[in-house]
Amino acid sequence: MSAGWNTIESDAGVFTYLLDNLGVKDVQFEELISLDAEFLHQRGPVYGVIFLFKYPVGEKPRETPLDGVFDQDAAESRFFASQTIQNACGTQALLSVLLNKDDSIDIGPKLREFKDFTGAFPADLRGEALSNSELIRDVHNSFARASPFADEAQRLAIEEDDVYHFVAYTEIGGTLYELDGLQPAPISHGSCSFEEFPDKVIPVLQRRIERYPAQEIRFNLVAMVRDLRIRAREIGDQDWLYQEEQKRNAWQWENALRRHNFVGFIGETLKGVVRSKLAEGEAKYAEWVDEATKTTRTRLTERRKTKGGVSKEGEEVEEEQ
């Protein structure tokens, strides 16, 4: 097994530029804030969706899935790879959609070469090939958050841990498939055309979410769609085009920030502030500390009152995955 895969966020900007850096053309991701088929249709064509959820660590393997049926033949005839290493499931989910849509997406020469090379492999060897691909691993890791602290991601998870996992849903050859590298084969959810995908995937996702307690809201869903700037140019909507360009600029800025560790900067800034307060005298310094303590207590009290809100939990999902 390969090593050295870091955790990445479930973020539309991360996924868009990850594929862009792998040489994929005219694809982007859109975050879905509700299970709304009409929203998907409006952003079509939709190639697939990536679903992030809390993984039940203590759950034992099942001979049959809780929803749908295993399609053993599709494990060989479609691009399906077993997950053989930690932290790779996000990128693996993206590729599970992408490499099954290479008839309608320009996946670029590097991924074309990878798919051709692994085409005759069984699922477990495809997973090993993916895990050991320096190109895919290096691009994946370039979007990981910089951290000065020890990474415990390689230790085995225990039942008490909050562990998150990515799976992909896409239409392939007239069937709606769930592609999960931790399962023995693709899971078929019945017949589905490319045009029907937005309508048919939503009920599947709803059933998946309903397995969890009502208070569990830590899910994240992004759709793989055609670059929305193309549609904006086709219909001559300059305002929409401008919004999409601004979105891209914001994504690039956020991705650049992820590569930097700001702990040292914050530490030096804090030292400078403390020195300036001490220069005003110990009484002024003590007054400043007291005010800061009161402000912090007020914020903690307000946070406890609003704990469990959707926006707060949504932020946690993106960071804990």
* Catalytic residue numbers, as ranges: 89, 165
Residue length of the chain: 321
